[in-house]
Amino acid sequence: MSLEIGLTEQGLVAARGTLTNTGEGGYQLDELTLSLPVPSRAAEVLDFAGRWGVERFPQRTRMSVGQRRREGRHGRTGADSAYVMHLGVPGFGYADGEVWALHTAWSGNHVHQAELDLAGTQVLSGGELLLPGEGRLAEGASYQSPWLYYSYGEGLDAVAHRYQRFLRALPHAPATDRPVTLNVWEAVYFDHDLARLTDLAERAAALGVERYVLDDGWFGDRRDDKAGLGDWVVSADAWPDGLTPLIEKVHALGMEFGLWFEPEMVNEDSDVAREHPEWIAQPKGRLPLPSRFQQVLNLSIEGAWQHVFSQMDAVLRDNAIDYVKWDHNRDLVDTGTAPEGRAAVHAQTLAFYRLLDALRERHPDVEFESCSSGGARVDLEVLKRAERVWVSDVIDPAERQRMLWWTSQLIPAEFQGSHVASGRSHTTGRWHDLSFRAATAVFGHFGIEWDLAQATKDELGELRWWIDWYKANRDVLLGGELVRVDMPDPSVYFKGVVTDAKAIFSVSQLAASPVCSLGVLRFPGLDPDARYSVKVIDRQQVPAEGRPSWEVGDVVLPGRLLSGVGLRAPQLLPETAVLIELERQ
């Protein structure tokens, strides 16, 4: 057994273990988790729950003798992943209270665990959750655990900063000039018509969009979600002249072109499944229950891996593609290798990494996004290979306020896909003004998920204003340091990003309050000896007489006053947000 442990430049403790069978005959490894001690004064646990559309829902519990064990058994990170498990002094907040944290960097089945034993020893542990037989080691064979990343800080923001700085230091970490993106999924779904898609491209370019993404439906017999997955060839029916006419139009309009894939999945109604049914991941004697009319393609089988790699490589080679949205839309249930049905989630996860690594090496100029039923594959190991994640399939801003807030506990804003959708959410059915939708979405890699042909002239004008504002401020929004503020009202989110020259804060209110004012807002992270101009971006319909004087006209104030005394909060309607720019003078 060997153990690697070290300290990253950002102050994370990184650890992993390797177990080698040095004996005679086989050895069965059931689990290899690594633990680091945490002082007993850290008596409160914070981790996360969730489901599709409700990713990263925080939950706090009091630590007691025994284990708080969070298992991920989805074959992917999971929308209900513990994500980051924290142990802190009771009542810890964003800026105060010691906090110790653990993230298990693995995209398959995994474990996060906090434990207090009868002797008073307390530890944070993590590792891979191995299915029966996956840890079987032949003589001389080795098993290597995932990397575990431990963080420490005074408050949750300090913990998050270490993780965020680690990602920002990766060689492929994106710059702050993230292109404004249009994904056409909610506009056309499977209805791929060149004239309509060209019209959407022209409308997008006129607004200042910089990247255009064609989603599901361009390949094989994929006219709906029941067929075609696994056949990664351009459909001659939907695209008789190939994708070239659309790609050339998009590029001529000055935008990048992106394309959707779901490489690890297969429909039973597909050429590859008919030719190689044994490539479908399966237990002995039967297929798993389908989900979304699809099965898992067993990439641990070399032929299946080569099939996907060669077809994707050909599409990327033969078309001028700048970006890939890599999706993964079902759990790995009964995932085995035919004909014996031996468990294959571990092997599948490694094969996924190998596939993405190979495609990145072959196409170094292509950006990759990790999407998985929305945000079900967000972890540090996949982000060593991807420049972006899709936070959630739910774009409703009332839900996204929480999701962006807590996704930032691990990853910075420039990695988080954050889009404006139509006024009525396709997933929740709620209606929100564009000002709230946009003011929420700009705190990430900003984009649009909307049929622009259905937008009104006024909506397009408002959207253009937000795109221009985002472009002017993305160096701050995507390059600053995150600060979050504890608020007494849990329906209020107050956060900011701070650079040396400028800070941008957001205050949003999701529910009505029994009082007219939220009280005083204090702005952390500012230089106390500097002076800042204060400008409010408030596009909601609140009468001027209901606003504090500093909101109506620009003022210049000392950083010491803004962070120590603060300003009276603006009056907010339910499900609205106000942005505040503070520029150093």
Q: Is 350 helix (H, G, I), strand (E, B) or coil?
A: helix
- From the list 379, 393, 396, 538, the catalytic residue is 393
- From the list 327, 331, 334, 433, the catalytic residue is 327
Find out whether 36 and 124 touch, Cβ atoms under 8 Å.
yes
**What six digits make up the tokens of 366?**
């292509």
**Within 13 Å of residue 16, how many CA atoms lie on the same side as its CB?**
13
Find out whether 145 and 31 touch, Cβ atoms under 8 Å.
no
- Using CB atoms within 10 Å of the CB of residue 549, give its burial: 0 to 12 exposed, 13 to 18 middle, 19+ buried: exposed
Find out whether 449 and 185 touch, Cβ atoms under 8 Å.
yes
**Within 13 Å of residue 560, how many CA atoms lie on the same side as its CB?**
3
Query: Distance between CA 273 and CA 102 in Å, rounded?
Result: 40
The full DSSP string for 514-556 is SSS---EE--TT--TTSEEEEEEE--S---GGGS-HHHHS-EE
Query: Distance between CA 358 and CA 354 in Å, rounded?
Result: 6
Q: Does residue 327 carry a catalytic annotation?
A: yes
Find out whether 397 and 408 touch, Cβ atoms under 8 Å.
no
Peptide bond into 548 cis (omega under 30): no
Locate all alpha helices (DSSP H) within 80-138, ordered by sequence.
none
Q: Does residue 47 carry a catalytic annotation?
A: no
Provide CB contacts within 8 A for 359, sequence distance 6+: 309, 312, 313, 316, 324, 366, 368
The dihedral formed by the CA atoms of 329, 270, 302 and 358, expressed in degrees to the nearest 10: -60
Query: Distance between CA 498 and CA 98 in Å, rounded?
Result: 22
Alpha-carbon 183 to chain mean position = 16
The full DSSP string for 415-435 is GEEEEEE-SB-TTT--B--HH
Distance (Å) of CA 313 to CA 194, 221, 354, 364, 415: 24, 20, 14, 12, 24
Query: Distance between CA 48 and CA 38 in Å, rounded?
Result: 19
Query: Distance between CA 473 and CA 486 in Å, rounded?
Result: 25
Which residue bears the tokens 């070399």? 302
* Residue type at position 525: G
Name the residue among 56, 78, 55, 82 with its Cα closest to residue 69.
Answer: 82
| Kind and range of the H or E run holding 404 | helix 397-407
Catalytic positions: 327, 393
